[in-house]
Amino acid sequence: MFNKTAGIIIIGDEVLSGKVEDVNSGFAARGLRLKGIDVRRISVISDDINEIAAETTAFSQKYDYVFTSGGLGPTHDDVTIEGISNGFGVKVAINDDLKAILSAHYGDKLTPERLKMAEVPASSGLIKHSSIKFPIIQYKNVYILPGQPELFRDKFKVLQDGFNERPILLVKVYITEYESEIAPFLNIIVAENKAVKIGSYPVMHNAEYRVMLTLESVDPEALKKTVSMITNGSFNDKVLRIEGQAADKW
């Protein structure tokens, strides 16, 4: 249905406790879908080395791309690098390029704690770009990103620009009938259009419509066919409007 898949892992006790709100996963998910990458799971886990190890390796095996957020600072609870290293069975190593950047920035104030920010899983690669001061750490298909939203966004945009999958097209169809009434018809639409991902979302207290359908696909012809089946089907008189790519032509 789509091209590549992705998983996002948010790491931090502060998110699980509600002290900090996660905004990075939503930002990444929207950006990935614009590039045709299907986000299949978003996980929020604690600052626990074993949990990070297990989650990251599981995601790496299951999805084409994995993005982690959080746990890259100089303090005791920044254990993402150690967790990922343990999960893949490699040592934690000091990256010379990262050390040089830190040395240039801190000079003789480069403490052991600050040097911790130069640690990577052994054999990791670095992704550099003129728009970011500190490179992105990549180990296999895992992109290791900071938790601070501003830094996360800057680095994620660098990665996003490098993805060139077919874009996921989205069309929204607004229906003035109850979801329970259109369910049998909708089941037929779903069964006959495997290349289109269809979502049905009822709304309350809306005088204009009762259900919003979302149709997503990388195949414009499949999407067009599905929209046509809906607009020409038994509930065609219940279609209020259509929004999305080329909706005006359908």
Contacts of 218 (CB under 8 A, 6+ apart): 1, 2, 3, 36, 165, 166, 167, 168, 169
Topology agreement, domain 4-161 and domain 169-249: no
**pTM higher than the cut 0.85:** yes
DSSP labels, 34-46: HTTEEEEEEEEE-
Residue 94 tokens read as: 């000091």
Q: Domain 4-161's class?
A: alpha beta
pLDDT at residue 250, as a whole number: 52
Nearest to 19 by CA among 70, 58, 90: 70
CATH homologous superfamily of 169-249: Apc35880; domain 1 (3.30.70.1030)
pLDDT at residue 167, as a whole number: 86
Phi, psi (rounded to 5 degrees) for 155:
-75, -40
Residue 208 tokens read as: 């204009």
Sign of the alpha-carbon torsion through 200, 1, 52, 106: negative
The domain locations on the chain are: 4-161, 169-249
End-to-end CA, the chain: 21
C-alpha span between 234 and 185 (Å, rounded): 8
Nearest to 142 by CA among 65, 80, 58, 209: 65
pLDDT at residue 2, as a whole number: 66
Residue 185 tokens read as: 């018809």
Phi, psi (rounded to 5 degrees) for 111:
-80, 165
| pLDDT values of the chain reduced to their tens digit, one per residue, 250 residues | 668 999 999 999 999 999 999 999 999 999 999 898 999 999 999 999 999 999 999 999 999 999 999 999 999 999 999 999 999 999 999 999 999 999 999 999 999 999 999 999 999 999 999 999 999 999 999 999 999 999 999 999 999 999 988 888 999 999 999 999 999 999 999 999 999 999 999 999 999 999 999 999 999 999 999 999 999 999 999 999 999 865 445 5
Q: Which residues of 50-86 are buried (b: 16+ CB within 10 A; e: fewer)?
A: ebbbebbbbbbeebebbbbbbbbbeeeebbbbbbbbb
